[in-house]
Amino acid sequence: MDQSAALRMRTTDLLALATDEPLPPLDQLVPLVFDQLQALAHRQLARDPNNVTLQTTALVHEAYLKLVDDQRVTSRGRAYFFAAAARAMRQVLLDAARRRRSAKRGGGLPLTTLGDEQGGGVDAFASEILDLEEALEELGRRNVRQMQVVECRYFGGMSVEETAAALGVSERTVKADWAFARAWLYDALREPGDD
């Protein structure tokens, strides 16, 4: 392919990114949006102040591996792609939290009691991620769309408009679902006795 054809293809790909038309194949798309994916990964990793296992670029690469075989990711437009990327990153972080919890519990090795000094920020954050995941799964059993709104807004950092486009609903519906889901998750994650 000559240089002008490559430039035309890149320009066409960039124009598709500005709309919700089908995007180029994933291997061509990721270099075009890599900075945006890194920003998305950075937001997700910033929630874990004790993260020592994943870096931003590694999270983007792990998410790419989860998306690479799904042809729908690029066929449904920009908003759907970023929602799928946020979901994939959430799954990578969830897998890492499960590994941390397993290692904390000995990873199948015989348990040794060390006293009450155990714990720490990493374990607490892994536990919070898993508690949030359980609450999201319960929310999803009650209302899938509300769970998807949380994925887009909280994990994906998407605007109301982008979330509406990704889910094929109105902005008003997204706002209502977001308000309900936040209140429901707050109640679900609250410790007994908290005010």
Structure-token pair, residue 85: 């990327």
C-beta separation of 9 from 23 below 8 A: no
- The one-letter code for the residue type at 56 is T
Contacts of 29 (CB under 8 A, 6+ apart): 13, 23, 74, 81
pLDDT in tens, 87-146: 888 888 888 877 877 766 555 444 444 343 444 444 565 677 788 888 999 999 999 999
pLDDT in tens, 29-80: 888 888 888 888 888 777 766 565 678 888 888 888 888 887 777 777 777 8
pTM of model > 0.75: no
pLDDT in tens, 8-18: 444 444 444 55
- Polymer length of the chain: 195
Q: What is the model's pLDDT at position 185?
A: 93
DSSP for 37-102?
HHHHHHHHHHT-TT--S--HHHHHHHHHHHHTT-THHHHT-HHHHHHHHHHHHHHHHHHHHHHHHH
pLDDT in tens, 70-83: 777 777 777 788 88
